[in-house]
Amino acid sequence: MRSQDAETTSDSVRKRPASETPPPDKPPPPRPWRTEGLPQGQAPKPKPPWQRVGVWLLAYLVLFGALQVQDRLSGPQVVAYTEFQRQVTAKNVTEVFARGDSIEGQLKKPAPLPSDKPGTYRQFTTERPTFAKDDLLAELAASGATVRATPVVQQRGFLMNLLVSLAPILLLVAFWTWMFRRQQSALGGGLLGKRQNRVDPDTVRVTFEDVAGIDEVEAEINEIVDFLKSPDKYRRLGARAPKGVLLAGAPGTGKTLLARATAGEAQVPFFSASASEFIEMIVGVGASRVRELFAEARKVAPAIIFIDEIDTIGRSRGGARSVGGHDEREQTLNQILTEMDGFSGSEGVVVLAATNRPDVLDPALLRPGRFDRQIMVHPPDHKGRVEILKVHARKVPLASDVDLEALASATPGMTGADLANLVNEAALLAARRQHDAVHQSELFDSLEKVQLGTARNVVIPEAERRRTAYHEAGHALLGMIQPGADPVRKVSIVPRGRALGVTLSTPESDRYGYDANYLRGRIIGALGGMAAEQEVFNVVTTGSESDLETVSRIARSMVGRWGMSERVGRRSVLPSDGEPRMAGVSDGLLDMVDEEVRKITDDCYAEARRLLRENRAKLDAIVAALLARESLDEAEIYASVGIARPAARPSAGLVPAAASTAS
């Protein structure tokens, strides 16, 4: 496996044959999940919105034109006023109504059209000239015609009258539909969303070749892949695939990328969604989306459903960690449990989920039959980091002096996401320096920026600069002369972030466990800055704030969590999460823990001052070199005091880089 971060999806793009044309751009899917690798023929492409608007507009124009034609055919006939006078004289007018000089009416018997056109008319309309002097009302009354000022019923066609009467209702329905669709769109697609767009597998698929640094997980995942590829081999023996696989681990370790690689390796459709996308204000929307997602996956089975950050909806529904009730979250969780229980085992749908907090998940999710397997995805070791760096450096031109092994040794504890960011920062730095390739200097300068922060251009008084130099020299010297301490990699009095100076120490190889001597050495090294200031200047400054936080954290863990105090004994007093008194710890025992923490820190501080007094000449030598060059790398630090660089030591595990700062 060769990659560790979901940000490297561009590395996973497979080369398209030259004979194929690139797929046209498709609009994003309206549903809250993403799909990959759906088989051909699924999810036809929806019509663009402008086409639907055009169809409705054309239909309206056709209907309006038809109504106009119908009104013209069935409406009153326009006649001349002289023709109207002849019909009045012939006493053939049965009723008229007028608005100003406009006269409309109806004949008793149909009369032939006054023009050459064949046919007759009965309803008519005409205009009375303003210069007419006839007594029209008397003539109409004498003929027995009914005269009105306005019509009793508006003389429209049947279809027009029907449309006018239904228009308010149609407008209300149209407005309600528009508001409902806008609301559902704002809620992330809603229940009226169309089918998700088919994603071209050749442009999005990743495989295990794009994943590196977590080889121990490959064997677990390969069984899922093998079942999806050839399920009959397992069914013959009565075996069934796990219904769910939970990927747990720290952020950036590649859980999402691993899930995508599993689907890509098995060449099956991949549905991915974040758990938070199922939760909405309207109760029941989340459960409906879950049902729809699982139904879509069954249609194209075998398939993989991936739910990221499942702890958003999968938190325990009771207990101390439960923070009140939430009907929508619980309904969504219940629907997921029901859907996973509904799998028969032969449907070929596997659910993958990722979380950073497996300890808060509901027990119903973790029982066999739901998430049968839990796979821990750890940060990579030295070998894994080398492989990850190779993957991220595929498209980055590297100079001949680049040593990825050395870079991997200097990055213990970094995840795949951290390493991807490191390589990208190095490429950006090389571009700013107008280089054609990335050199080793850019990689380590970027490592300093990632671990220590960006350098600041500030003017520091000489006295403050000298005191900062002694502070950092105290950290560095104690790190060099203490047995078992981590080698010092970098010392700088260049302000970075909120610190005025930085001392960086990292282990020679990965660490997975710590003994009391190593932890005491860490405390002594962290107190070296304060001890140097007090030995040389007899002052205590605020520059030791972050150092004291590190010291307190280590000492309290030694006493209250790791059983490294004879007085407190072999017991866990300080839980990693929560108030210790809630776990039954007495105030007396907590006071004892505080006394032991103070005893450890006081003893380590006294030892730090003693070592600095005995090695004052070496301390002054480091300060002189720092004031002259501001930053010293590993070789320069050891050369300035005449101490041989310690040989590589075997290690017991993984520990993040330790940086002491003077703020």
Q: Catalytic amino acids?
A: 472
Q: How far apart (Å, rounded) are the C-alpha atoms in residues 460 and 73? A: 95
Closest CA to 663 of 517, 518, 550: 550
Residues β-bridged to residue 511? 653
Q: How far apart (Å, rounded) are the C-alpha atoms in residues 336 and 306? A: 12
CB 440 within 8 A of CB 399: yes
Closest CA to 313 of 375, 370, 361: 361
| The Cα angle at residue 165 between residues 161 and 171, in degrees rounded to 5 | 130
Q: Which secondary structure element, helix H or strand E, spans residue 373, and what is its range?
A: strand 373-377
| The Cα angle at residue 337 between residues 248 and 365, in degrees rounded to 5 | 30
Within 8 A by CB and 6+ apart from 102, the residues are 125, 126, 127, 128
Q: Which secondary structure element, helix H or strand E, spans residue 432, and what is its range?
A: helix 416-432
- Region of residue 397 (phi > 0: left; psi between -120 and 50: alpha; otherwise: beta): beta
Q: How far apart (Å, rounded) are the C-alpha atoms in residues 27 and 543? A: 54
Task: Spell 145-182 as b/e; 16+ CB within 10 A means b.
Answer: beeeeeeeeebbbeebeeeeeeeeeeeeeeeeeeeeee
CB 655 within 8 A of CB 412: yes
φ/ψ of 140, rounded to 5, equals: -65, -40
Burial class (CB in 10 A: 0-12, 13-18, 19+), 250: middle
CB 532 within 8 A of CB 538: no
Long-range interactions of 630-637: CB distance < 8 A, separation 24+: 630/492, 630/493, 630/494, 631/490, 631/491, 631/492, 631/493, 631/494, 632/490, 632/491, 632/492, 633/489, 633/490, 634/487, 634/488, 634/489, 634/490, 637/476, 637/480, 637/488, 637/491
Q: Could you give the residue ranges of the DSSP H alpha helices within 205-303? A: 215-229, 231-235, 255-266, 285-299
* Separation in Å, CA 57 to CA 50, 54, 60: 10, 5, 5
Q: How far apart (Å, rounded) are the C-alpha atoms in residues 104 and 114? A: 16
Torsion sign (Cα): 197, 200, 203, 205: positive
| Token couple for 377 | 């995805």
Q: How far apart (Å, rounded) are the C-alpha atoms in residues 501 and 469? A: 8
* Separation in Å, CA 117 to CA 29, 70, 73, 112, 113: 61, 19, 14, 9, 7
Q: How far apart (Å, rounded) are the C-alpha atoms in residues 317 and 327? A: 11
Q: How far apart (Å, rounded) are the C-alpha atoms in residues 573 and 583? A: 9
First to last CA, the chain: 41
Q: How far apart (Å, rounded) are the C-alpha atoms in residues 521 and 505? A: 12
